[in-house]
Chain A
Amino acid sequence: MIRTALLVAAKDLRIERRSRVLLWQVLPFGVMALVLSGLALGPTHAGHSSAGPGLFYLVMLLVALLMINRSQVIEGTPGTKASVATLGLDPAGVFLGKALALAVELWLTGLVLLGGSVLVLHTALVGTLSALPSVVVTLAALAAAGTLYGALSGGGQGPATLLPVLSLPAFSPLLIAGERSFSAALHGGGLWRWWLISLVALVAYLGVGILLYGVLEES
């Protein structure tokens, strides 16, 4: 399972490196969304607003939806799907690999957007750095949930609107926990309590994905 996971993750990341979709499409979109969020608050309020963590996770959610869809589409062309099916890869390993690759992509995007939130939304640098562990865990949970819901919504072949509709209710607790822990890192409060919620969600989604990804692929 682990061998398959590493193989699939390496393949997905290589495809991203070759296609540069993350670099030239997703990242600019995320940065623009963050800048627009700052503009929506207005230059006077952006630096003093407590909305920074929430806006960061809102932009990460939009970015994650794009990347989840992309992660599924590369597997979704009928010929590729059939050929890869005959390789007999362990579905649990495929799930872990795709979730790992997606997590790496979200972490990279998250780092850029955290820097952007310091610059554009003026979140405190020290507080933002303190939030890093919780951001890492929350984005990993988002990747695990996203991989699961990406397969559930048709693996890149279903209607494009299905993924957001299905996944947003599942993502909401993660976003709330992430926003609360980021806010706690910036302004003080129960940082670890929210961080633990994200960690439990990560473990739960990984467990469900390992058990059910094969069934979702078959259906």
Chain B
Amino acid sequence: MSSPSPEVTLRDAVVLVGGFPLLSGVNLELAPSSLTVVTGANGAGKTSLLRLLAGLVALTSGAGVVAGVDLRGDLRELRRRVGWLGHEGSFYDDLSASENLVFAAKALERPTSEVANVLERVGLASRATTSTKQLSAGQRRRLGLAWLLLRRPALWLLDEPYASLDDEGRTFFDQLIGDVVAGGATVVVSAHDPLRSSELAPRTVTLAGGLVVADRS
């Protein structure tokens, strides 16, 4: 029996922005239903790699297929298939947690009744009507996860999800990531350090200068 096609395939992927190389020739294959942690120092290219996989920056040269979409093709189609949690905050600050999710649910043509369920799952049910700008950094991360749970993408791209999280938040994230991978999704996490949880046993890819310099399963 043949193995399933990779969720992500990059061949000599180069991304230039303003003539500056963010990625300098990345080769990478990620299997479906897997967890990968991308590590590296500041400026190593972690966020750029995730943004490339999300279709948020264009491939300058090389080749790649992500979630079945050619990176030289329709990036809008790719964006519809992936879930993105950025480290900058991902919402309309003047809307409440619930209103942000209702907007996303309506955009995705999902029943808005799912909003209460995902807020409950990420532990934000009591803050549903709180303005997003009044949420703490950790609560905003949880809201980001709620957004992704609502979307249920096949590929989750989490950029520095552990930043500003306390121990409880990190444990919650680890558990949820484990559930998502067990449910069949592919998860890519960028982090300064390898994941703390030994149970998740992720593959760790290390970047430096926009190149993969280590790949450890």
Q: Kindly report which residue of chain B lies nearest to residue A88, judged by CB atoms.
A: B80
Say if the beta carbon of B94 comes within 8 Å of chain A.
yes
CA distance in complex: A86, B86 (Å):
12
B52 contacts across to A, CB distance below 8 A: none
Q: How many residues of B contact A (CB 8 A)?
A: 34
Q: How many residues of A contact B (CB 8 A)?
A: 20
A166 contacts across to B, CB distance below 8 A: none
Q: Would you call A86 and B95 a contact (CB within 8 A)?
A: no
Say if the beta carbon of A208 comes within 8 Å of chain B.
no
Q: Would you call A86 and B79 a contact (CB within 8 A)?
A: yes
Closest chain-A Cβ to B34's Cβ sits at a distance in Å of 20
Q: Would you call B99 and A14 a contact (CB within 8 A)?
A: yes
Closest chain-A Cβ to B60's Cβ sits at a distance in Å of 15
Q: Would you call B90 and A80 a contact (CB within 8 A)?
A: yes
Closest chain-B Cβ to A90's Cβ sits at a distance in Å of 10
A residues 1-56 in Cβ contact with B at 8 Å = 4, 7, 11, 14-15, 18-19
Say if the beta carbon of A126 comes within 8 Å of chain B.
no
A14 contacts across to B, CB distance below 8 A: 95, 99
Contact with B107, one of A74, A77, A87 (Cβ below 8 angstroms): A87
Known: A18-B131, A88-B76, A88-B79. A83 touches B84 (CB 8 A): yes
Q: Would you call B92 and A80 a contact (CB within 8 A)?
A: yes
Q: Would you call A86 and B99 a contact (CB within 8 A)?
A: no
Q: Would you call A77 and B89 a contact (CB within 8 A)?
A: yes
Could you tell me which B residues sit within 8 Å of A by CB distance?
51, 54-56, 75-77, 79-80, 82-95, 99, 103-104, 106-108, 131, 144, 147, 151, 153
| Known A77-B93, A83-B90, A88-B79; further 18 A-B contacts with Cβ < 8 A | A7-B103, A7-B107, A14-B95, A77-B88, A78-B88, A79-B91, A80-B89, A80-B92, A82-B86, A83-B85, A83-B86, A85-B79, A86-B80, A86-B83, A86-B153, A88-B76, A88-B77, A88-B80
Could you tell me which A residues sit within 8 Å of B by CB distance?
4, 7, 11, 14-15, 18-19, 74, 77-80, 82-83, 85-89, 218
Instruction: List 10 tightest A-B contacts by C-beta distance, closest first.
Output: A79-B88, A88-B80, A83-B90, A79-B86, A18-B94, A87-B107, A79-B90, A79-B89, A19-B94, A15-B94
